[in-house]
Amino acid sequence: MRLRFRFSIIPFMATAALVVLGIVLGNWQARRAEEKTALQVRLVQRAAAPPLRLGREAIDPAATAYRRVVATGRFVRGWPIYLDNRPLKGRSGFVLLMPFKITAAGDRHVLVARGWFPRDPGAHDRIPALPVPEGEQTIEGIAVPRPARVMQIGTPPALAPHAIVQNLEVADVARASGLALLPFLVEQTGNPAYAPDGLVRDWPAPALDVDRHRGYAFQWYALAAMACVFFVMTGFRRGRQTAG
Tell me the pLDDT tens digit for each residue of 183-192.
Answer: 999 999 875 4
In whole angstroms, give the CA distance from residue 151 to residue 135.
37
Instruction: Kindly state whether residues 20 and 115 are assigned to the same domain.
Output: no
Instruction: Kindly state whether residues 130 and 237 are assigned to the same domain.
Output: no
Q: Report the domain count for the chain.
A: 2
Does pLDDT of 163 surpass 70?
yes
Single out the residue of 70, 60, 37 nearest to residue 217, CA to CA: 37
C-alpha distances in angstroms, 195 versus 92, 94, 130?
18, 15, 12
Instruction: Kindly state whether residues 72 and 173 are assigned to the same domain.
Output: yes
Instruction: Kindly state whether residues 111 and 170 are assigned to the same domain.
Output: yes
Asked if the structure places residue 46 within a domain, the reply is no
Instruction: Kindly state whether residues 104 and 134 are assigned to the same domain.
Output: yes
Residue-wise burial string across 171-201, b where 16 or more C-beta atoms lie within 10 A, e elsewhere: ebbbebbebebbbbbbbbbeeeeebeeebbb
Instruction: Kindly state whether residues 73 and 185 are assigned to the same domain.
Output: yes
Instruction: Kindly state whether residues 111 and 219 are assigned to the same domain.
Output: no
Task: Give the range of the structural domain holding residue 24, as residue numbers without chain letter.
Answer: 9-40+210-243
Instruction: Kindly state whether residues 18 and 90 are assigned to the same domain.
Output: no
Instruction: Kindly state whether residues 118 and 182 are assigned to the same domain.
Output: yes
Instruction: Kindly state whether residues 162 and 113 are assigned to the same domain.
Output: yes
pLDDT of residue 83: 94
Instruction: Write out pLDDT tens, residues 219-242.
Output: 999 988 998 888 888 877 776 766
pLDDT of residue 192: 47
Asked if the structure places residue 196 within a domain, the reply is no
Instruction: Kindly state whether residues 81 and 15 are assigned to the same domain.
Output: no
Instruction: Kindly state whether residues 158 and 223 are assigned to the same domain.
Output: no
